[in-house]
Amino acid sequence: MSNWVHDYYRNVDAMDMDAFIASHADDISVTFGNNPPAQGKDQVRESIGQLWSMLNGLRHDFRNVWQPEPDLAVLEAKVTYSLKDGRDITLPVTSILTRKDQGVDNLRIYIDMAPVFS
């Protein structure tokens, strides 16, 4: 796996919002599950910040990473969400990331978040 994918998810799992936002292109588009896309760094900060505010932590356990091109990655993982109520919920997730000019410009996260909210 290339360093940019590893670095990206290290910032996610650390819930380091400033480093996370800095790793994106200005015109980033993030689609999380069945939610409408968040467009631009401000919307991404708000959208992901809402999720992270419900968590004590999260961790991605990579199963497979495919990188058919230097600026395209597909990640299959198990992600564990540590909720504020003390529960840990582990869910399968697949994400597709593209980048340009050293910043992720498109992130599509395929996950069913229903268990987190039930």
Number of CB atoms found within 10 A of residue 63's CB: 12
Mean pLDDT confidence for 18-44: 96
Roughly how many angstroms between the first and final C-alpha of the chain, as a whole number?
34
Q: In the prediction, which pLDDT does 101 show?
A: 85
pLDDT bucket at 1, cuts 50 / 70 / 90: very low
Q: In the prediction, which pLDDT does 2 show?
A: 60
CATH of domain 3-117: 3.10.450.50
Mean pLDDT confidence for 82-89: 96
- Are the CB atoms for 25 and 99 separated by under 8 Å? yes
Residue 15: which residues within 8 A CB-CB, separation 6 or more? Answer: 52, 55, 57, 58
pTM of the full structure: 0.92
Q: What is the domain partition of the chain in residue ranges? A: 3-117
Length of the chain, please? 118
Mean pLDDT confidence for 97-109: 94
Tell me the per-residue pLDDT of 53-77, one tens digit each, with 9 for 90 and over: 999 999 999 999 999 999 999 999 9
Mean pLDDT confidence for 15-19: 97
Residue 108: which residues within 8 A CB-CB, separation 6 or more? Answer: 30, 31, 95, 96
